[in-house]
Amino acid sequence: MSYSPDLLKGQKALVTGSSSGIGEAVARHLAQAGASVVINYHSEKDEAENIVSAITSDGGEAIAIGANVAQEDEVKAMFEQMFQHFGTIDILVNNAGIQKDAAFVDMTLDQWNLVLSINLTGQFLCAREAAKEFLRRGVKPDVSCAAGKIICISSVHEVIPWAGHVNYASSKGGIDMFMKSIAQELAPQKIRVNSIAPGAIKTSINTAAWSTPEAEAQLLKLIPYHRVGIPDDIGKAAVWLASDDSDYVHGATLFVDGGMTLYPGFAHGG
């Protein structure tokens, strides 16, 4: 995918959990569109540095910063390091997330707390720091129509219940209301807030669901468009939501799911 390098020229972006999968694709696409990007990682430092090298080799600008988004002190330190290097932030993509699956009655409090702390509290901590900087700096018309953009990576499971994944689905449902609430609050200050809700995307977190022909055939029964998504599908959507081309889009969830939220089981009969 090629973009005009002027699309996000001069903008500084932070993508949490971007050392692999969807986050990596989002970071690469933002860089291709001209943004300078922070590759945030938790434990995959080498992978993050490799992404930085790939972006800079392609003429872009990127740095890697390690931080656990569930830890307030680490989040604040990450933003300080970003500001020291890039001066500010224009785009935050709240992508970091994990799964710790279990049957509901077997789920431990640690499994519940870990998923909620990273998937939901992590988005709160990062969005709060970004919003503070957006408010401090205000709109720079030569950079963007908005004072800043926050993109929350959610999931189709913010609306589709998911037995056996109660902590994950609850965290994504929480992201939906979190996004809408801060969108309502921050709109008068020209801060745009939206979500992307991926459906089935081929990443390491769900390899078992698509890695064999048999598994993929079962998965495709849930996708009317009859294609499993790839991380680039989300990267392209993120560039659009981060750009002024979507300036009037606010408080919205963009489902990138091949129609999974159309409940395909009802296509015949029902």
Catalytically active residues, by annotation: 168
DSSP string over the chain = ----TTTTTT-EEEETT-SSHHHHHHHHHHHHTT-EEEEEESS-HHHHHHHHHHHHHTT-EEEEEE--TT-HHHHHHHHHHHHHHHS--SEEEE---------GGG--HHHHHHHHIIIIIHHHHHHHHHHHHHHHH---TTT-SSSEEEEEE--GGGTS--TT-HHHHHHHHHHHHHHHHHHHHHGGGTEEEEEEEE-SB-SGGGGGGTSSHHHHHHHHTT-TT---B-HHHHHHHHHHHHSGGGTT--S-EEEESTTGGG-GGGSS--
